[in-house]
Amino acid sequence: MTGIVLAVALLSMERMSLDGLWDFHFESGKKTEEVRMPDFKVDDKMLVPGCWTTESAYYDCRGTGCYRRRIAVEKAAEDAYLVVDGVGLRARFWIDGRDVGAVALPWSRFEVPIGSLGCGEHELVVAVDNMSDPNKMKLFSDFYDFYPYGGIFHGVELFLRRQSTEVKSVTVRTRDYKTGRVELELVFAGKCLDAFDADVAFDGGEKKKVAFVGRKATLEVPAFKLWSPESPHLHRVRVGLVVDANRQEKSFAEVQFGIRQVSTDGGRIMLNGEPIYLKGANRHESHGEFGAATPKSLMYEDLHNMKLMGMNFVRGSHYPQCDAFLSLCDEMGMLVWEESLGWGNRTNQLEDAEFQSLQEEQTRLMVKNSINHPSVIISGFLNELDSSSEASKGIVNRLVTAVREEDSGHLVAYACNRVNDDVANIQTDIIAYNVYPGWYTDRPKIGSREELRKTIRDCHRNIVRFFRRKYGDSRPIVVSESGVKADFGFRDSRGRAQYTEDYQAEYTQLMIEEILANRDIAGFAIWLYADAKSYTRVHSLTARPYGYNTGGLYDAYRRPKLAVETVRKLFREFAR
């Protein structure tokens, strides 16, 4: 049921935002199947978008959130569908008491077909379940090092189709960045056309009649400008179906896109034919007050802070990113690594047929949804899977193939932490690794600054050497995670003890200096931009102080730590 959900700027189909206060009821400790649905008893209200797990009444609660609201339809529709931008963790939907489907793809932007809707009022009911059940929720496990927020993260929209054929969206692919040649592919709701004429206009300019074959047409954008971090120029295209000689428009869609091409050349990453070094950070969709339902103003603040630190790159850890965040990345010139959901998955999961199928489904959906976002240059998956096992080869190759079959132009990678025995980086475009020398591994024998620097330097040199010998090629190598933790407000300028801001600042300086000095490394994402909520009261109770991963340059409320200035100085001065 998870069809393509490309964002559109304008659309002839009617669309209704369903955001706001919904009727609500919470069933603690119960899965959706254990709750009486859809006729539950309402006893509260809940905001959409939002997370119940950050609300005082339901703080840190696992169970099923039951949502209900009325929808007024003024004119009957042949067909309708919902677009939901992220839930935690799985959801089931009813319209007028009729079950219209379920989705178990946490954080994904997905579509729910609901059929025809008559004129009048309708009742929409949604059950969202953030329980951990390996039989029901294959893609998220409780050992993952981030929090399973419960809620509807970034809103719900209703789309109404009243004609037999409607243009749903336009996929835009750059075919030649030197000439501004792009391929347009129409996505339809209702009856799908194959060969037809359409009016095409770029950037509000003159309409041009264009013949589409196989739903596709290739043409050049007039007076085009390239998209890059330094000059994030965006274009718009409007495509309208016409029905007679008078050029009467039947249906249209208008989308935003950028012209850019990403590739590799030996050990370098290339953007529009020029080498680019990735300087950035990992970011969780997490905040101390909002949880995973971060508002657009906070997304802007995060990206603005990154730009001020001299960053040009963000890795969305470790799940698909919402459309609003990617749109801001487009507009602000921030390169993005987006990845489907996974964390430390082991052989028993990698060999599970349903797990494999859901991984492919979410990965394909992620790539399709972000294809018009020029900021997205890397599609990834399965962070820190056990890539030393033979089982990893099959699923990695399957997901690499899935990304490439979507013809997105994205590079493909996964973040590897098996830096001495990885066997699965066979078909990837980039070799990426996570490592924490002097923190989790390779602890210095002496806690001096000099010994710490040597530990960091030797660690990265040895890893690069392993990958070069293992795969015998010169693909770009990227450090996808590295850093240390610090508790906000804890200072120790004399001893610079671990977990203090002073130690984090010192370590960050040495880490950045050594990584930037290594000519075999093509990019680096610091772990972590801002502290993020993780597991609580389970696993090792000492591993995550007060339930947070505190590796952020900022704390969970975006208060800067000392390392922010360190990063700003080193990243802004660096040029290669």
Q: What is the mean pLDDT of residues 196-201?
A: 95
Q: What is the pLDDT of residues 71-127, one digit of tens each?
A: 999 999 999 999 999 999 999 999 999 999 999 999 999 999 999 999 999 999 999
pLDDT in the model for residue 544: 79
pLDDT in the model for residue 249: 78
CA nearest to 460, candidates 511, 411, 507, 390: 511
**Residue 181 predicted with pLDDT over 50:** yes
Residue 437 Cα distances to 276, 347, 455, 571, angstroms: 26, 26, 7, 20
Do residues 523 and 278 touch, judged by C-beta distance below 8 A?
Answer: yes
Threshold 0.75, pTM exceeds: yes
Q: What is the mean pLDDT of residues 456-472?
A: 96
Residue written as token pair 């970011």? 283
CA distance 549 to 532: 5
Pairing of strands 313-316, 278-283: parallel
pLDDT in the model for residue 541: 54
Mean of the per-residue pLDDT values for the chain?
94
Confidence category of residue 8, pLDDT binned at 50, 70, 90: low
Q: What is the mean pLDDT of residues 173-179?
A: 98
Strand order of the sheet with strand 50-51? 50-51, 151-152, 87-88
Non-local (6+) Cβ contacts of 319 within 8 A are 106, 107, 108, 285, 339, 340, 341
Residue 463 is classified by DSSP as H
pLDDT in the model for residue 547: 87
Q: What is the mean pLDDT of residues 176-198?
A: 95
Percent pLDDT > 90 in the chain is: 89
Q: Between vectors from CA 378 to CA 419 and to CA 282, what angle results, nearest 5°?
A: 65
pLDDT in the model for residue 216: 98
Residue 545 is classified by DSSP as G
Tokens standing for residue 184: 């347009």
pLDDT in the model for residue 336: 98
Q: Please write down the HEC assignment for all residues of 298-360.
A: HHHHHHHHHHHCCCCEEEECCCCCCHHHHHHHHHHCCEEEEECCCECCCHHHHCCHHHHHHHH
Pairing of strands 216-220, 151-152: unpaired
Do residues 503 and 562 touch, judged by C-beta distance below 8 A?
Answer: no
pLDDT in the model for residue 10: 72
Higher pLDDT, 247 or 557: 557
pLDDT in the model for residue 574: 87
Confidence category of residue 4, pLDDT binned at 50, 70, 90: very low
Q: What is the mean pLDDT of residues 551-572?
A: 98
Confidence category of residue 429, pLDDT binned at 50, 70, 90: very high
Q: If residue 510 lies in a helix (H) or strand (E), which one and from where to where?
A: helix 501-517
Count of alpha carbons within 13 angstroms of residue 100, beta-carbon side: 22
**Residue 539 predicted with pLDDT over 70:** no
Tokens standing for residue 50: 């939002």
Q: What is the mean pLDDT of residues 343-354?
A: 96
**Residue 351 predicted with pLDDT over 90:** yes
Strand partners, 524: 279, 479
Strand partners, 190: 165
pLDDT in the model for residue 516: 97
CA distance 419 to 483: 16
Do residues 111 and 69 touch, judged by C-beta distance below 8 A?
Answer: no
From the CB of residue 564, how many other CB atoms can be counted at a distance below 10 Å? Answer: 20
**Residue 337 predicted with pLDDT over 50:** yes
**Residue 535 predicted with pLDDT over 50:** yes
Confidence category of residue 205, pLDDT binned at 50, 70, 90: very high
**Residue 1 predicted with pLDDT over 50:** no
From the CB of residue 354, how many other CB atoms can be counted at a distance below 10 Å? Answer: 12
Q: What is the mean pLDDT of residues 459-468?
A: 97
**Residue 202 predicted with pLDDT over 70:** yes
Confidence category of residue 178, pLDDT binned at 50, 70, 90: very high
Percent pLDDT > 70 in the chain is: 95
Do residues 183 and 217 touch, judged by C-beta distance below 8 A?
Answer: yes
Residue 572 dihedral angles phi and psi, to the nearest 5°: -70, -25
Q: What is the pLDDT of residues 248-290, one digit of tens each?
A: 778 999 999 999 999 999 999 999 999 999 999 999 999 999 9
Tokens standing for residue 253: 């869609």
Q: What is the mean pLDDT of residues 526-544?
A: 82
Tokens standing for residue 510: 């040495």
Do residues 226 and 177 touch, judged by C-beta distance below 8 A?
Answer: yes
Q: What is the mean pLDDT of residues 23-43?
A: 95
Count of alpha carbons within 13 angstroms of residue 444, beta-carbon side: 16
Tokens standing for residue 322: 């919402």
